[in-house]
């Protein structure tokens, strides 16, 4: 396990965990197409070059294609010096795809100094924790939108777990239990944990302070309250205003640190946070 000094040094290099996002960049590898839950706010399109939101990628990569892409980006005099993090964030759930683990192994062999980071819905965290420990995963982001299974049943159309598909509050209960247990186990292993919470006005507003308190107790490092992108089942809901979002972040900052620079990145984002994807890719080629 890394010492506290080593851990803090890595955190400072991670732009999505409070590090210098003007200097340090990340590279997301879109190697995980399958998902095991259906979020009401999620619309995944694999081939969508002009949108910037979670679940979008220009194309899927195999692990072998991914490591070739990493070599190209790291060899570039423009992108190579700024990339500090290799992340896998979809377009599905990374833990539900074996390609995730194969890709991290390939990256670790050639670029052991790069921070390995993953974003997940958390359903399979307790099941996959031994693999993540063996991989030496440093940074973990878990999207946790409620602690209440009934509200979870409103947010998620279904949860597919261990061969069975669940819906309603039963789905919400399984997902929330696994998310919380996974966060607890990850913290015990010394991983740096960020919790993403999508603010869905009229649905989970009251859950935000409860989530911030609970994940702080479990060992999370920072929280990222994200505004709803109106689409899919929640296309009719007005997204929260910037003022509402800022107020929530200020209130919950008293409990746990808040990440305020999130741009709700694509599954194939490259470069600095907020940097144009196509520009970043062009620079690397």
Q: What is the CATH number of the domain that holds 80?
A: 3.20.20.70
- φ, ψ of residue 222 to 5 degrees: the values are -150, 160
Confidence band for 99, pLDDT divided at 50, 70 and 90: very high
Q: How far apart are the first and last CA of the chain?
A: 36
Positive or negative: CA dihedral 158, 159, 165, 167: negative
pTM equals 0.84
CA distance 12 to 17: 8
Q: What is the pLDDT of residue 14?
A: 56
141-191 residue pLDDT tens: 999 999 999 999 999 999 999 999 999 999 999 999 999 999 999 999 999
Polymer length in residues for the chain: 285
Radius of gyration for the alpha carbons in the chain, expressed in angstroms and rounded: 18
- φ, ψ of residue 196 to 5 degrees: the values are -90, 135
How would DSSP label each residue in 166-216?
E-HHHHHHHHHHHHHHHHHHHHHTT-EEEEEEEE-TTTSTTHHHHHHHHHH
**Do 58 and 48 meet the contact criterion of CB atoms below 8 Å apart?**
yes
Centre a 10 Å sphere on the Cβ of residue 190 and count the other Cβ atoms it contains: 15
pLDDT at 24 over 90: no
- φ, ψ of residue 48 to 5 degrees: the values are -145, 85
CA distance 95 to 236: 30
Beta pairing partners, 278:
none
Confidence band for 284, pLDDT divided at 50, 70 and 90: very low
Return the higher-pLDDT residue of 273 and 246. 246
| Rounded mean pLDDT, 32-60 | 70
199-254 residue pLDDT tens: 999 999 999 999 999 999 999 999 999 999 998 899 999 999 999 999 999 999 99
pLDDT at 280 over 50: no
Total structural domains in the chain? Answer: 1
Q: Which residues contact 179 (CB under 8 A, 6 or more apart)?
A: 121, 122, 123, 125, 142, 144
Q: Which residues contact 217 (CB under 8 A, 6 or more apart)?
A: none
User: Which of 275, 279, 281, 284 shows the shortest CA–CA distance to 25?
Assistant: 275
pLDDT at 281 over 50: no
| Rounded mean pLDDT, 255-268 | 74
Structural domain harbouring 202: 4-284
CA distance 193 to 243: 26
| Rounded mean pLDDT, 32-40 | 95
Q: What is the pLDDT of residue 259?
A: 86
User: For residue 267, what are its two tokens?
Assistant: 């599954």
CA distance 201 to 228: 8
Of all residues in the chain, the percent with pLDDT exceeding 70 is 79
The label of the residue with tokens 């261990």 reads 162
């Amino acid at each position: 396990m890394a010492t506290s000094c080593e851990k803090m040094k890595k955190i400072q290099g991670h732009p999505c965990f409070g590090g210098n996002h003007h200097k340090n960049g990340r590279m997301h590898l879109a190697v995980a197409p399958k998902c095991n839950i259906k979020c009401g706010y999620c619309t995944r399109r694999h081939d969508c070059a002009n949108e910037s939101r979670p679940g979008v990628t220009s194309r899927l990569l195999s692990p072998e294609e991914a490591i070739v892409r990493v070599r190209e980006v790291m060899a570039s005099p423009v992108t190579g010096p700024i990339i500090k993090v290799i992340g896998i964030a979809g377009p599905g759930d990374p833990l539900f795809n074996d390609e995730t683990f194969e890709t991290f192994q390939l990256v670790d062999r050639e670029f052991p100094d790069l921070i390995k980071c993953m974003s997940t819905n958390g359903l399979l965290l307790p099941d996959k924790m031994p693999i993540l420990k063996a991989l030496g995963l440093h940074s973990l982001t878990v999207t946790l939108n409620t602690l209440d299974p009934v509200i979870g049943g409103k947010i998620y159309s279904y949860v597919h777990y261990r061969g069975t598909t669940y819906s309603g509050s039963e789905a919400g209960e399984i997902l929330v239990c696994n998310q919380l247990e996974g966060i607890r186990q990850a913290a015990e292993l010394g991983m740096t944990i960020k919790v993403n919470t999508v603010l869905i006005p009229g649905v989970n507003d009251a859950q935000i302070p409860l989530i911030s308190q609970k994940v702080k107790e479990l060992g999370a490092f920072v929280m990222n309250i994200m505004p709803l992108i109106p689409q899919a089942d929640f296309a009719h809901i007005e997204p929260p205003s910037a003022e509402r979002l800022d107020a929530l972040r200020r209130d919950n900052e008293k409990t746990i640190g808040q990440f305020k620079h999130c741009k709700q990145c694509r599954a194939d984002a490259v470069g600095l946070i907020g940097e144009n994807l196509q520009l970043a890719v062009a620079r690397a080629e």
